[in-house]
Structure 1
């Protein structure tokens, strides 16, 4: 056990170190440092791709870190694919192509998909899934322009996402593709897309009709996951989808038909729903044997495991043991779905009751009525013995009473009522049982404390002082509660208080890292304090074998790195050097600890057996993918350089604004005069919306050598010597030429906005263009 604990801690250290190095590389390229010309940047980007893939090859062949070399080989393989995406983004930055365009993510997805097929490694599956979905989303909703779609077009776009995810889910469900993360992610996103298609608020004409296929899909899901292939996890997710649909439809109906009679019918519906729930699950409990669970080792997986290079599942791990159910009956299933129906029923019933009271109560202050109802419900749930009331109904009513009461005390703005509600909330926390119930109760206790603090200090001269004081006070309270949890409460409550107070301590401390200087350099000090403390917690909790605390700390560590992409301490360039240093330091310390860890005996043998390097198993196929990636970069570079060298130079008038790209850094968006040409020159574009699409614009030189849009190019017409054709995309209101982004060093956007008046572009013979530079004249 001690060996495996240290083994996992070392893997965590390597992963954190590599993540820091990758973040440093992204920061460096996004800074757009002027000290490097574009040739050096391109060579450096290609060298980084080769470096990561080379490290993957080295660790696959050399036992430099026994027990971890296969893990590191695979992680460096993933890092190489990420480095390729960063390099593609860098080419966009160098040659000023679209920021965060769909093309960037789709090109990046090609090697990710190929490596997914070669390795069958879940990180590549998830990376491919994210990249393809980002590409699709940005294709339909580009960042550079506000897309306007009709109801039918919006419905079709949601349908595309639904069909893609349905197909992917069927592939994984039918075991044509083995990836549990993809199976669950695609199932969830499919139902989200399907529910979006039923939205009557946005799709007034089609939303009602789409309710029919949505209900059919949910019904088919219940049938398939119960009768054909029993899957507890998918059945639970299907129940969640049904619950979300029911609540969403109730909200739509309440908005359209809100009245006393409607809420009465809502109460009757809930009574029928809960009664039917009891009768239905009496039948469901008599269901027969189940089929293999998600995560079980099936015959097909056993055959796959016998193939060379396929990882054999480790049945000694806790996850593998729990994958084989002790009881194959339908008891767990009936409980899961029954609870979801009870939650939906109680939620709708509570909304109906509150709506009925609000409409019919003949009082001036409805907030007091809501607070009274919430306190009454809370006290009843606290006092009534557990044996007398279903636990799901109890905790759902408690949650609803928390929400209603919190809304009421915010509405009333009475500190005394807030304190009363706080005491009842704390009593509800003590009365709760189970991790989720205790956590939710603790959430509302914190919200209640925040409300009281706000009511007490809202009169301060500056709102920012009140806001910052509340966050620091909540951090302090939760940190103190975490400290005293070791000494005060009995075992069950102590564990839950420890986990909840740790989560909220880190949450409020992370929140505080966004504050501006409260005193000189406080922003820098708080961020450094957060990073040091959370990094120390990661290793301390792993060493102390506190799994949940370690996971919480790791999650907040990565969240910090992600959110502080631009905000942490210095400019991107200095942040890059700092993170690179920290990454190398983390890797060095982890390697030193790894060398001191004995890698002999049964545990080490099992670790080595479960780990294998994909670079070692499929070196030729992976080498082909690497060459393909380098070829893509080389082709795009050669194409852009040729255009810059041979294209016609054109001067255009512009008016910039200043946003920021996640991967590519600061840039200005350029709005050219030729983007919105005079109607007289572009009459065919003004006729109908269906004219959206590719266009060719003929440019002619005007005053001071500035080119203007003269007309639309007609196929076959001959151009005068001074005329140039430029390819564009008409979106219904303006023309996009693909030269609307100009990437700049960090922090120089304001200067560019104030001084840049003209853009110089290069146009090839076929009408493609590259943005060369901006100038004042």
Structure 2
């Protein structure tokens, strides 16, 4: 009964996600047959309709999950609607305001319903709004290093504060608690990189050390081995980052000699840390039920989990130590010993290290595997660089021997994965065709996964399955982008059907690891296909709509096959509770906010003054809204900005006065507007905002276009027609050649 319920919930999630994806693609397609209001009406229907469906479902037994899912779909529809308004009136593409407006109701939903997906959505939208507020264009940055550092520091403080709220129990979101823990440490490591922050990076090492120490103390105080695991991993990552910084700065003979001692100390310290983790036995936090069976079960579960923590930590430290060892040995061979062609030396070291460590059974495990893996990486890597396929085949044989000879699930997964990578390089060397190699590799990995089910020894069966299945999905996923014409459609349909089948079957059989990998690739497929231009967005919309309806139809059919007593056994749970009227008010506010923005834009279009501006188009792409050209005007960098560094680096709101240039109808910059001044009949006021070296941004820098026409607009568009209101607000109407 529980399995059927989970399968039905999964079907509704997949079907709803496909339909929402179809809706997003539909509006992103800029379908020319729809006028503005024909685009807006479906969004309003979706927001209110999903809410109404949620209320109706909340009054039926066993429909609590679907009620929550419908309300979540209403929230997603609001985000699509906000993006659509910006798209229709050509304003604020990829702007922080789009995500901020969406963030507010998502956060309120999270507070009112306490449902975890809202917390995750709010966290993502909040970070997007924060990042785009300071960096309006993806990949942009501040010239002032201190300002950039403060932005990163603010993000770290925000994540640290959220973690404290989660830890204190003010907000119950276990997944986000884990995410904020990782994000805080990661940001501090980024801020400490001296090659990114040349003036302040070295000083940020002190707060980094404090944060890492606090993470270890927290894990020890709360007796939480998961957080102890990740605290240890972040310490190793920080050490590796510092080591790479030193290599870049001091790559001389003395440094690499000292580095060899450092690697030895690093491995020794990790051996001590591993011994500490193994010996650490925190007190049990199990539920006091009075049942000895449950206590014993909890103790056994904790023991199994502790072993998993130790294994993951060991492998991670081995990989980090191996990378440090590889860098050091390459430096010793090239810089200290002076070999101009070190490939054969490194290949020889690889043979000696791998064979020697396979034989050294009594050597310390951490040190043994670090040397073994570094030898494999250096030897096989040198053979790949020098294209020595015969040597690669020898290293392939050694990895398979290590897989069969060495014990441990994680160890065998590591060496089986290494053998797959070596096979891929050998095939690339022989065939020299990426599509052919990936096709062969996909078929081989699928056969390995299928035949792996027949292996009787569990110690060999599990690593084969755990390695081959994710590698198969990755290879086939890559093919969905690399193939062309008919093969493109074949690989995409094949990937879609196989992953969908894997999700359904693994959920039915309760094979969690297959389900997790399949669901991850399913989400990646939906996201990345948005940017794949082989299909038009409208075609994708229709395809996903059909798929969503099929999945929902099958789900409804399966649900009707359930026995009546299964449904009768469930009890209705309060979905809205005392907050139902607040949620209804929130829906009305969302609809009202969208209506107000549409009304203001329509009024400006009807009553604003039409002017023409000279421009210079660029061609990026919106995150959720479709294709658009990013515009830059001649008035974006007025003469006073070009000659005055202080003005050019300034921030804040500004208004300018524009007027026609002589007999031309093109408006040009005249002066900065002073509050209260009178304008001549031919002059107009235009509001903007200083953006440092970018000049002035007027909020009319984005123009949405039909999909695939960006290059045409980029080449032909020379001027922009803009409607400007009396108070200086503007809307971009069209682009013209003349």
| TM-score, normalising length: structure 2 | 0.92
Alignment match of 1:475 (pick from 436, 442, 453): 442
Aligned CA distance change for structure 1 residues 436 and 338 (closer, same or farther; 3 Å): closer
Report the Cα distance in structure 2 between the residues aligned to 1:529 and 1:331, rounded to whole angstroms: 38
Answering whether residue 264 of structure 2 is matched by residue 260 of structure 1, we say: no
Secondary structure of the equivalent of 2:482? coil
Quote the residue 1:309 is aligned against. none
| Alignment partner, residue 332 of structure 2 | 356
Alignment of 1:456-471 (within 5 A): 456-458=430-432, 466-471=433-438
Partner secondary structure for residue 627 of structure 2: strand
Q: CA deviation at 1:690?
A: 4.1
**RMSD (Å) for aligned C-alpha atoms:** 3.0
Task: After TM superposition, give the deviation of residue 337 of structure 1 in Å.
Answer: 7.0
Query: What CA distance in whole angstroms lies between the structure 1 residues aligned with 2:648 and 2:512?
Result: 57
- The answer to whether structure 1 residue 79 and structure 2 residue 73 are counterparts is yes
Provide the C-alpha distance between the structure 1 equivalents of 2:672 and 2:325, rounded to a whole number of angstroms: 62
Of 132, 149, 153 in structure 2, the residue corresponding to residue 159 of structure 1 is 153
1:619 counterpart residue number: 580
Q: Does 1:698 align with 2:665?
A: no
Query: How far apart, CA to CA, are the structure 1 residues paired with 2:596 and 2:708?
Result: 31
Q: Which runs of 5+ in 1 are unaligned?
A: 300-314, 459-465
Which residue, 45, 48, 67 being the options, matches 2:46?
Answer: 48
Give the 3 Å change call, closer, same or farther, for CA 614–394 of structure 1 in structure 2.
Answer: farther
Supply the distance in 2 between the matched residues of 1:337 and 1:507 (Cα, whole angstroms): 25
Cα distance in 1, alignment partners of residues 114 and 520 from structure 2: 25
Alignment of 1:382-531 (within 5 A): 382-385=358-361, 388-458=362-432, 466-488=433-455, 490-517=457-484, 521-531=486-496
Alignment partner, residue 723 of structure 1: 683
Could you tell me how far apart the structure 2 residues matched to 1:298 and 1:209 are? 48
Question: How far apart, CA to CA, are the structure 2 residues paired with 1:513 and 1:276?
Answer: 45
Instruction: Determine if contact 1:287/1:330 at 8 Å carries over to the other structure.
Output: no
Aligned residues of 1:290 and 1:330 also touching (Cα < 8 A) = no
Aligned counterpart, 1:14: 12
Residue 306 of structure 1 aligns with which residue?
Answer: none
SS in 1 for 2:682: coil
| Aligned-partner Cα distance in 1 for 2:219–2:619 | 51
Question: Mind listing any 5+ residue stretches in structure 2 that lack a counterpart?
Answer: none
1:631 to 592, 600, 619: 592
Inter-partner Cα distance in structure 1 for 2:321 and 2:486? 53
**What is the deviation of 1:21?**
0.3
Give the one of 323, 334, 349 matched to 1:373. Answer: 349
Alpha-carbon deviation of 1:746?
1.7
Residue correspondence of structure 1 range 108-127 to structure 2 within 5 A: 108-127=102-121
- Does the 8 Å contact 1:728/1:735 carry over to 2? yes
Q: Does 1:574 align with 2:562?
A: no
The alpha-carbon deviation at position 192 of structure 1 amounts to 1.1
Measured in 1, the distance between the counterparts of 2:389 and 2:314 equals: 39
1:130 shift after superposition: 0.4
2:699 counterpart (738, 749, 755): 738
Contact in 2 for aligned 1:402/1:444 (Cα 8 Å): no
- Give the Cα separation in 1 of the matches to 2:316 and 2:31: 54
Alpha-carbon deviation of 1:260? 3.2
SS in 1 for 2:611: strand
1:665 aligned residue (598, 610, 626)? 626
Contact 1:650 1:763 in 2 (8 A): yes
Separation of aligned partners in 2, 1:496 and 1:286: 27
Cα distance, 1:447 vs. partner?
A: 1.8
Corresponding position of 2:243: 250
Match of 1:220 in 2: 214
Secondary structure of the structure 2 residue equivalent to 1:54: helix
Name the residue aligned to 1:38: 36
Once the 2 structures are TM-superposed, how far is the Cα of residue 51 of structure 1 from its aligned partner? 1.5
Query: What do residues 38-70 of structure 1 show as CA deviations (whole Å, max 9, x unaligned)?
Result: 11212221111111112211111134xxx4x11
Determine the C-alpha separation between the residues in 1 that align with 2:467 and 2:265: 37
- Paired with 1:716 and 1:396, the residues of 2 have a C-alpha distance of 73
Q: What is the CA distance between 1:548 and its match in structure 2?
A: 2.1
8 Å contact from structure 1 (residues 100, 661) kept in 2: yes
Question: Secondary structure, in 3 states, of the residue corresponding to 1:81?
Answer: helix
Cα distance in 2 between the residues matched to 1:287 and 1:267: 30
Q: Conserved in 1, the CA contact under 8 Å of 2:54 and 2:68?
A: yes
Tell me, in whole angstroms, the C-alpha distance in 2 between the residues paired with 1:132 and 1:622: 21
Q: 2:98 aligns with which of 104, 115, 127?
A: 104
Change (3 A) 1:214 1:750: closer
Asked if 1:180 corresponds to 2:168, the answer is: no
Q: Which moved more, 1:411-420 or 1:482-491?
A: 482-491
Distance 1:324 1:97 in 2: 58
Show CA shifts across 1:641-689 (max 9, x none): 1211222221112232332213111112222222233x2x557854455
Distance 1:638 1:424, change over 3 A: same
Secondary structure class of the residue paired with 1:729: strand
- The equivalent of 1:190 in structure 2 is 184
Match of 2:554 in 1: 589
Residues 746 and 420 (structure 1), Cα distance of their counterparts in 2 relative to 1, 3 Å cut: same
Using the TM superposition, name which of 320-329 and 423-432 deviates more: 320-329
Could you tell me how far apart the structure 1 residues matched to 2:403 and 2:191 are?
39
Does structure 1 conserve the Cα–Cα contact (< 8 Å) formed by 2:641 and 2:647?
A: no
Q: CA deviation at 1:185?
A: 0.5
Q: 1:105 to 1:267 in 2, by over 3 A?
A: same
1:72: how far off? 0.9
How far apart, in 1, do the equivalents of 2:617 and 2:153 lie?
36
Corresponding residue to 1:766 among 720, 727, 735: 727
Closer, same or farther: CA 614–326 of 1 in aligned 2, 3 Å: same
Structure 2: how far apart are the matches of 1:625 and 1:613? Answer: 19
In structure 2, C-alpha distance between the alignment counterparts of 1:604 and 1:486, rounded to whole Å:
39
Give CA deviations for 1:421-447 in whole Å, capped at 9, x if unaligned: 111122222234444333332332122
Give the secondary structure class of the aligned counterpart of 1:447.
Answer: helix
- Output one character per residue of 1:337-370: Cα deviation in whole Å (capped at 9) or x when no partner: 7886676556544543443233334545301111
- Compared with structure 1, are the counterparts of its residues 365 and 752 closer, same or farther at alpha carbon in structure 2 (3 Å cutoff)? closer
Mapped contact 1:71–1:612 kept (Cα < 8 A): no
* 1:246–1:344 CA contact under 8 A, matched in 2: no
- Is the contact between residue 263 and residue 356 of structure 1 (CA under 8 Å) also seen in structure 2? yes
User: How far does the alpha carbon of each residue in 1:573-607 deviate from its partner, in whole angstroms, 9 at most, with x for none?
Assistant: 12212211210111011111011022536x974xx
Q: Which SS does the other structure have where 1:417 is aligned?
A: helix
Residue matched to 2:736: 775
Q: Tell me: CA distance 1:435–1:129, structure 2 relative to 1, closer, same or farther (3 Å).
A: farther
- CA shift at 1:727, angstroms? 1.0
Task: Tell me, yes or no, if the aligned pair for 2:333 and 2:339 is still in contact at 8 Å.
Answer: no
